[in-house]
Amino acid sequence: MDGSKSGDKEDWAPFGRPLFDDPSVRALSRVGVVDVGSNSVRMVVFDGAARSPAYFFNEKVMAGLGGGMAETGRLNPEGRVRALAAIKRFQHLADAMGITPLSAVATAAVRDAEDGPDFQSDVERETGLKLYVIEGEEEARLSAQGVLLGWPDAEGLVCDIGGSSMELAELTGGQVGTCLTSNLGPQRLKTVKGGKKGRKAVIREGVRKLADEIGRKSGRLFLVGGSWRAIARIDMDRRGYPLTVLHEYRMSRKALYATIAHIAATPVEELRLRTGIGESRMDLVPLASQVLKELVRELKPRDIAVSSYGIREGMLYEQMPQRIRDRDPLIEACRFAEAKDARMPGFGKRLHEFVTPLFTARNAPDARLVKAACLLHDVSWRAHPDYRHEVCFDEATRANLGGMNHEERIFLGVSLLHRYKNSRDGSPFQPLFDLLDEDDIRWAEILGKAMRFGAMLTASKNEDMGKLKFYPKRKRLELHLAPGTRDLFGEVAEARLGALAAALGEVEIVVKGR
């Protein structure tokens, strides 16, 4: 595959076609990607918002292609059979979905094995699928671009671990810099001679060389790869963390060290039962945790963030025109959801304009979160009225929405909960609410109640809703009704305006234009 060069891509490898012909495109036509790694073979089908694609289909098989390769120099025979069978299945599924041709890449195992070219030939002969083998530095670059799909302005280092290799890439100002590769994959480390002492020496020397070359930066460390995600899952379990969404999960160095000690002291089977991690993945976790401990000790990152986006997402990002890359992934996903699921697509923009005067204070929430909530305010209308508030919260906190950390997810969830319900009392989501401070909870409630009220002031996305004006120092909330809308301000609307005023701090309500 061509490197980071954006010039001649006449064959658009590995897709074989441009995915973003129209630079103004909002939606991504369904695209299937197969990633053949040292541990797993996975097919992902992307769909939805072009800048923030959702996962229409996602399946993996832990084939173990790289198992024993460090000793034999060849792909694991059983792994070859399982990987080929998985790719055949994926090809059949793609045909049924009408999304062929699939785009397929292979990483360290196929890249380094003596029989890697033979395996490529088998895949093409049996399925017609051309398997592109990418170099380690290219793997690092694509993984870093996957991180940029979710964090457009990401700064720090991206570390992607597979079974046979580990890559590092530098991110500065939303651009990929130095890219490095190493042999520090846990499958390969299993074969190091000298037992624990020998492995520790190899890990320490390998990490030191990487750090010397890329620099010891104290920014954020983004973790990509199944073994890192498994460690994060164990960290969540150890801490009793209530939001089990791995993407954007953050860990401090201190917490990570405690989790690595916990992994070393706890039987593997107990960890599996507590976390649901598969046997093949858990088998690699103890060695991967040793690598991560040394990496964090050497680099001393400010914090550690888990990214569920990697090579596959990086392949999409590779083809995005800059105009699409520059869009906010959160807002694009919310716009797509509104267009697809809301009763009045386009009304979210009007609602946002209506509620914005409430959020001018210095400590007000990020404007993009307010906008995202307004775009999503009606996408769950099909849910039963008694449960819409719960459905909204669950969707916001667990949906495939990039460009947010966990606290922002919960803020969005609380605001949408209050779009449909006045009170949080007795909510089963209380442990998640506790992740926000009181001020953030208050602002989320204000936003939700403002949307709840605003949605009553029109029956059409094109009607004038009137205006809200808020004077915090005077503790005064004014509603200026639009001409001809007097009858829309009925007793239910009046009650909801009162609830909004109470959330703002028992302010005086003045209604004009009646």
What's the pLDDT tens digit per position in 20-73?
A: 767 677 888 889 999 999 999 999 999 988 899 999 999 999 999 998 888 899
**217 has pLDDT over 90:** no
Q: What is the CATH number of domain 27-134?
A: 3.30.420.40
- Is the pLDDT confidence value at 2 over 70? no
Q: What pLDDT sits at residue 1?
A: 38
Please determine, for residue 11, whether its predicted confidence score (pLDDT) is greater than 80. Answer: no
* H/E segment holding residue 105: strand 103-106
> The pTM is what?
0.91
Report pLDDT for 4. Answer: 37
In contact, 332 and 49? CB cutoff 8 Å? yes
3-state SS assignment for residue 25: coil
Mean of pLDDT over the chain: 92
Q: What is the pLDDT of residue 60?
A: 94
Residues β-bridged to residue 32: 45
pLDDT in tens, 396-444: 999 888 889 999 999 999 999 999 999 999 999 999 999 999 999 999 9
Residue 250 has pLDDT above 60, yes or no: yes
Rounded average pLDDT over 95-101: 90
Paired with 224 in beta bridges are 160
Sheet arrangement for strand 166-172: 175-182, 166-172, 156-161, 220-224, 303-306, 250-251
CATH architecture, range 329-512:
Orthogonal Bundle (1.10)
* Res 35: pLDDT: 95
- CA nearest 49: which of 325, 309, 332, 328? 332
Q: Is the predicted pLDDT of residue 357 greater than 90, yes or no?
A: yes
Q: What three-state secondary structure class fits 26? A: coil
Q: Is the pLDDT of residue 199 over 70?
A: yes
Question: What number is the average pLDDT over the span 90-108?
Answer: 92
Task: Look at residue 401 in the predicted model and tell me its pLDDT.
Answer: 84
Q: Which CATH number fits domain 137-312: 3.30.420.150, 3.40.50.720, 3.30.390.50, 3.30.465.10?
A: 3.30.420.150
Provide the CB-side half-sphere exposure for 431 (13 A, CA): 7
Contact 397, 208 (CB under 8 A): no
Q: What's the confidence (pLDDT) of residue 17? A: 67
pLDDT exceeds cutoff 60 at 226: yes
Q: Do domains 137-312 and 329-512 have the same CATH topology?
A: no
Dist. CA 490–CA 349, nearest whole Å: 24
Query: Would you list the domain boundaries of the chain?
Result: 27-134, 137-312, 329-512
Per-residue pLDDT tens digits for 131-181: 999 999 999 999 999 999 999 989 999 999 998 999 999 999 889 999 999
pLDDT at 374: 96
